[in-house]
Structure 1
Amino acid sequence: MRARTPLALLAVTAALFAGAAVTAPAATAADTCHTQSTIGLTCHYHYGNQWAERGSVGNHVREIQALINGTTDYRQVGGRLAVDGRFGPATETAVRWFQRNHMAAGSVDGVVGPNTWRALRGYRV
């Protein structure tokens, strides 16, 4: 197991000495989103730019959720989105936040079309 900070290493060491089971933390979107030369940022759920709006379901929605979680500061203002592939109210709120804070004025519609995909694929905190 690779410790990310000295404090984490200390906590793991203390747990081991106490006889506790230690498991590696689950990977987060931030750990799995990378730049791919042909499309920009990807979290490897979906490589295209399929239209998404409230009610949409699928891997393209998972990609949107993971990109917002892993590459923006939304988690500090709205929390982490569930990467469940369902475009519900929480995902729409996060998309509107992204559009309002990281795109041109007038872009806020809560729909992920080509312009929002380009912004999501190119934005990084």
Structure 2
Amino acid sequence: MQLRLRTGAAALAATAALVGAAGATAPAAVAAPATAGKAAASSCTYGSIGWYCGHYYATPQRSVTLSYGSSGAAVRELQDLIGSTTAYYAYHNQPLTVDGQFGPQTRSAVRWFQGHYMGKGAVDGIVGPKTWRELRG
């Protein structure tokens, strides 16, 4: 069975709204654990291009291809998307650092994402149009 949890901040906001509407307070366990330190800011929202975290705005067809050694805003977007809109934290028990550097941790996260959400045949550690499409949801 393949888990396709892609709710991130949107689910937290919806849960908080529902709990607030019921007149109760949200339990401490609802807080997103990936918000500490240099971790993902959990500011991702879903819009016209899909999931967007505020670092790099491009449709999957127009996005740059990223691989080990890449850096910049597109890498921060990639890191934030994986850290904030997937089950990455639940599987690794640590946040994905959003630093704009496509190093070993990011490559490992991309490979995990590809295998988990796209299938084992898609695992190459390179973020091209197909991976961007799946990341954007």
Return 5+ residue gaps in structure 1 as ranges: 9-24
Alignment length, in residue pairs? 101
Matched, 1:58 2:72: yes
- Contact map agreement 1:29 1:67 (CA 8 A) in 2: no
1:47 maps to: 57
Relative contact order, higher structure (CA 8 A, sep 6+): 2
1:90 corresponds in structure 2 to 105
1:70 aligns with 2:84: yes
Give percent identity, aligned residues only.
50
Give TM-score scaled by structure 2 length: 0.67
| Whole-angstrom CA distance in 1 between matches of 2:27 and 2:133 | 38
Shift of 1:104: 3.5
Moved over 2 A (4+): 4-8, 25-30
The match for 2:45 among 10, 31, 34 is 34
Stretches of structure 2 that go unaligned for 5 or more consecutive residues are 1-15, 17-24, 29-35
Compute the RMSD of aligned alpha carbons.
2.1
Query: Paired residue for 2:19?
Result: none
Structure 2: distance between partners of 1:55 and 1:107: 20
Bigger helix share: 2
